[in-house]
Chains A and B, each alone.
Chain A
Amino acid sequence: MLKAVILIGGPQKGTRFRPLSFEVPKPLFPVAGVPMLQHHIEACAKVPNMKEILLIGFYQPNEELTRFLFTSQQEFKITIRYLQEYAALGTGGGLYHFRDQILSGGPQAFFVLNADVCSEFPLPEMLAFHQEHGDPSSLVILGTTANRTQSLNYGCIVENEETNEVLHYVEKPGTFVSDIINCGIYLFTPDIFQHIAGVFQKNQIFFELQDEEPANGWHRAAAIRLEQDIFTALAGQGKLYVYKTLSFWSQIKSAGSAIYASRLYLNRYHITHPERLACNQDGGPKISGTVYIHPTANIDPSAVLGPNVSIGTGVTIGAGVRVRESIILHGASLQDHCCVLNCIVGWDSTIGKWARVEGTPSDPNPNDPYAKIDSETLFRDSKLTPSITILGCNVTIPSEVIILNSIVLPHKDLNRSFKNQIIL
């Protein structure tokens, strides 16, 4: 019997996703037409013997999350529960805190997935790999290849190429260690908790020695990071293995990476969910490449959409509109002849006639098969780095203006063109 745990973080995390994360918890942000988490849940629910899915995070219970859990359970016919941390406990601390819940029913193993990754989720392959490598109590990390420069931004894994054992693990090293990086998707056995317990006790002693209030010490000790604290210690001990995948993978940290992830998932729909892809029809808009359109959207036949476009519920798109490489969230209205490129248009926003709303993509180098999307800083040399244009919820863009490489906060009515700015 198997379980899956998805680490969904909390509001203090994901600030790079503002202003979109003001409206909806990042794990519920729609990527390729469905909430980010749904891709994880779909993949987990498909694994035979999957008993339940546990979400661990520190979001307060809210309407969207509750509704999402409810509809997902109905749709995928599997138990899904949300376990709320009382404080940010780190990627390992949360697991440890809820170990009883995770182990109840006696699963042989359980997957752990980070919510903010986009992946093909080769979970059955990881299971098969686990059976063939190491002993039944060993742990598996899903790894992929990055280019040398970008690997420094991730957890780096040095493996024994014959046995696939992890010999060495470093999180975000300063110098090159390995081009195999940690995907944030793991297969653990109940043994993991002994390892975490070891670290937890060490932390407790360490913080008590620091002469702190025992209460604070307990708090600090409980914040355990899987990567830095557990993997680094376990590397080279015959307990940790890496399963390398060639399938697509990306982090989703910023709005730009949400558009990139959308593209990866939309392309995957050809195989997994062809019914989610729009196609050219009489009386419908012209579709170029992979496009998702919610059935309740209202689109003029002279519009041209795609590639890599997701259209949400109740969206209205007027005559002669062009949308490319963008996510249009529900209720938005795009008026005649406007042009939307490399952009996320927030819920219920309006774009006026002939307006041009454009961002700059931050895609990885298409000529490098191992290139990953850059986690760019917002500013460089005191100037805003050109990036995806984001319109928060309920933003109004007047006719005939240009909004270029800008971020507009929610409920804003613009009255002129803007370029390379954050508009509060």
Chain B
Amino acid sequence: MCVCVSMKALILVGGYGTRLRPLTLSLPKPLVEFCNKPTLLHQVEALVQAGVDHVVLAVSYMSDLLEKEMRIQEQRLGIRISLSHEKEPLGTAGPLALARDLLCDDNEPFFVLNSDVICDFPFQEMLQFHRNHGNQGTIVVTRVEEPSKYGVVVFEAEGGRIQRFVEKPQVFVSNKINAGMYIFNPSMLQRIQLRPTSIEKEIFPVMAEDGQLYAMELQGFWMDIGQPKDFLTGMCMYLQSVRQRAPDRLCTGPGFIGNVLVDPSARIGENCSIGPNVTLGAGVVVEDGVRVRRCTVLKGARLRSHSWLDSCIVGWKCSVGQWVRMENVTVLGEDVIVSDELYLNGANVLPHKSITESVAEPRIIM
């Protein structure tokens, strides 16, 4: 087993996280809790465990909240966290060039991650694989059911050398797509100029032609949690992985069904039915007779008695009234109050809103 010593990682955080609104109207996307831990922390902790001691966050929108949180995590994890701020759009490759000085001060390869990715992070395997083939770059790929919705990667079965990329193929060429996790040698940065550049369209194809790019297949689950629907699907996959790796973290007992993750400070009333696939954050209160299924409930929210929720995200400090029914990827932003006895079907509600009428068909409530 290869130990990563003093390695670096660049996480592409990007901008406003508009696809995850209304949640990202209150917090920068990296700080939105996924299964009771900020998304970013899932990645950073896994990197630290694999020996990374310097993480660079490439952001296009500077957030005080993010800066403050990163100082705290630096202390807590005993690592260095830098912020690389692009003042104008640089695409998916430009940020690497921008952070060149931070990434290049030694000759070790560095990780690059897309911040929306959730999986059982295989950073040690990636490094081993990368050292074995000895070339400039490694891309992690994952298998999908409908490859024609994405760009697919075609690579040699033996060794993994990437031959080409095909965008949204009409006929089947491969069912492996780019999983948004890479390792590069510092020399690779010479390929990138400091201007808006697409890594998938401009850099990778050239590296593949040069025979310098290799694909490692990811085992286990993978999800891009950049939008609410996928956020919930990713939650289900992650909880299933917890069931396999560390089942003691999950809640069992009467009233709990399937995989349920509950913060110790959450309170649950009588005659509830929670799960499968539910996450309850810190200080969440679930009153009597509540049924929750396939939901994320963020910190400080309250679900009042006899309510029924399926496939929803309930934002921080929300209050969901008695006998409310919410379903179909209803997302409540921070501090939303839903009056008693309402029905919300696919409602996307902006923060600090008071809902006093039912929403029978999916729409956005400003």
Using CB atoms and an 8 Å cutoff, list the residues of chain A in contact with chain B: 319-320, 322, 324, 336-337, 339, 341, 353-354, 356, 358, 400, 402, 404, 419
Flag whether B315 is at the interface (Cβ < 8 A).
no
B295-344 interface with A by 8 A CB criterion: 305-306, 308, 310, 322-323, 325, 327, 341, 343
Shortest Cβ distance from residue A15 to the other chain B in the assembled complex, whole angstroms: 28
Verify if B108 is at the interface (C-beta below 8 Å from A). no
Q: Sorted from nearest, which 6 A-B pairs have the closest CB atoms?
A: A320-B289, A339-B323, A337-B306, A320-B306, A322-B323, A354-B308
Additional 16 contacts, C-beta under 8 A, given A337-B308, A339-B341, A404-B360: A319-B271, A320-B288, A320-B289, A320-B306, A322-B323, A324-B341, A336-B289, A337-B271, A337-B291, A354-B306, A356-B343, A358-B343, A400-B310, A402-B327, A404-B343, A419-B360
A400 touches B308 (CB 8 A): yes
- Residues of A within 8 Å of B325, CB to CB, are 339, 356, 402
Query: Which of B305, B341, B343, B360 meets A320, CB within 8 Å?
Result: B305
A356 to B291, CA, bound (A): 13
Once A339-B323, A339-B325, A356-B343 are accepted as A-B contacts, the answer to whether A319 and B360 lie under 8 Å apart by CB is no
Closest to A356 in B: B325
List, in ascending order, chain A residues with CB within 8 A of B360's CB.
Answer: 404, 419
A339 in contact with B291 (CB, 8 Å): no
Closest Cβ of chain A: how far from B307's Cβ, in Å? 9
Residues of A within 8 A of B341 (CB): 322, 324, 339, 341
Q: List 11 A–B pairs whose Cβ atoms lie within 8 Å, in order of A's numbering.
A: A319-B289, A320-B289, A322-B322, A322-B341, A337-B323, A341-B341, A354-B308, A400-B308, A400-B310, A402-B343, A404-B360
Q: Which residues of A contact B306 (CB under 8 A)?
A: 320, 322, 337, 339, 354
Question: Given the complex, which residues of A lie within 8 Å of B308, measured CB to CB?
Answer: 337, 354, 356, 400
Instruction: Report which of A324, A337, A356, A358 forms a contact with B289, defined as CB distance below 8 A.
Output: A337
CA distance A337 to B270 in the complex (A): 12
> Please, which residue of chain A has its CB at the minimum distance from the CB of B288?
A320
Closest to B290 in A: A337
A126–B291 Cα distance when bound, in Å, is 56
Number of B residues whose C-beta is below 8 Å from A?
15
Is the Cβ of B343 less than 8 Å from the Cβ of A400?
no
Expressed in whole angstroms, the Cα–Cα distance for A248 and B360 within the complex equals 33
Q: How far apart are B204's CB and chain A's nearest CB, in angstroms?
A: 46
Label chain A's interface by main secondary structure. strand
Residue in contact with B291 in the complex, picked from A354, A358, A402, CB distance below 8 Å:
A354
Closest-CB distance, B7 to chain A (whole angstroms): 49
Nearest residue, chain A, Cβ from B358: A358
Give the Cβ gap from A357 to chain B, nearest Cβ, in Å: 11
Which residues of chain A have C-beta atoms less than 8 A from B291's C-beta? 337, 353-354, 400
Contact partners of A353 in chain B: CB under 8 A: 291
Q: In the complex, which residues of chain B have a beta carbon less than 8 angstroms from the beta carbon of A419?
A: 360
When chains A and B are docked, how far (Å) is the Cα of A129 from the Cα of B289?
Answer: 58
- Taking the closest CB of chain B, its distance from the CB of A126, in whole angstroms, is 42
Residues of A contacting B289 in the complex (Cβ-Cβ under 8 angstroms): 319-320, 336-337
Which residues of the partner chain B approach A324 to less than 8 Å between Cβ atoms? Answer: 341
Q: How many Å lie between the Cα of A339 and that of B323 in the bound state?
A: 6
Bound CA span A354–B288, Å: 12
CA distance A336 to B270 in the complex (A): 13
Interface centre among A319, A320, A336, A337 (most CB of B within 10 A): A337
* 8 Å CB interface, B28-63 against A: none
| CA A354 to CA B308, docked complex, whole Å | 7
Query: Which B residues touch A402, using CB under 8 A?
Result: 325, 327, 343
Whole-angstrom distance between the alpha carbons of A337 and B341 in the complex?
11
Quick one: closest A residue to B325, CB to CB? A356
- A354 and B325 CA atoms in complex are apart in Å by 9
Question: B323, A336: Cβ atoms under 8 Å?
Answer: no
A109: shortest Cβ distance to chain B, in Å?
49
Query: Which A residues are CB-close (under 8 A) to B288?
Result: 320
Rounded to whole angstroms, the CA-CA distance of A322 and B323 in the bound complex is 7
Closest Cβ of chain B: how far from A225's Cβ, in Å?
Answer: 41
Q: Which residue of B lies closest to A405 (CB)?
A: B360
Docked Cα-Cα span, A404 to B291, in Å, equals 19
Please, what's the 1-or-0 string for B9-32, where 1 marks a CB less than 8 Å from any CB in chain A?
000000000000000000000000
Q: Are the C-beta atoms of B343 and A336 separated by less than 8 Å? A: no
Q: How far is the CA of A322 from the CA of B343 in the complex (A)?
A: 14
CB proximity of A7 to chain B, nearest CB, Å: 39
Q: How far is the CB of A162 from chain B (nearest CB, A)?
A: 48
Taken together as a complex, chains A and B put the C-alpha atoms of A406 and B343 apart, in Å, by: 15
Query: Bound complex: CA of A242 vs CA of B325, how far in Å?
Result: 50
Chain B residues lying within 8 Å of A358, measured Cβ to Cβ, are: 343
* Chain A residues within 8 Å of B327, by CB: 402
Indicate the member of B271, B306, B310 with the most A CB atoms within 10 Å: B306
| A162 CA to B189 CA, complexed, in Å | 100
Query: What is the CA–CA distance of A339 and B343 in the complex, to the nearest angstrom?
Result: 11
Question: Measured between C-beta atoms, what is the minimum distance from B137 to chain A in Å?
Answer: 50
**Nearest B residue (CB) for A399:** B291
Q: What distance in Å separates the Cβ of B117 from its nearest Cβ neighbour in chain A?
A: 33
> B360: shortest Cβ distance to chain A, in Å?
7
**In the complex the two chains form, what is the Cα distance from A402 to B306 in whole Å?**
14
CB distance from A326 to the nearest CB of B (A): 12
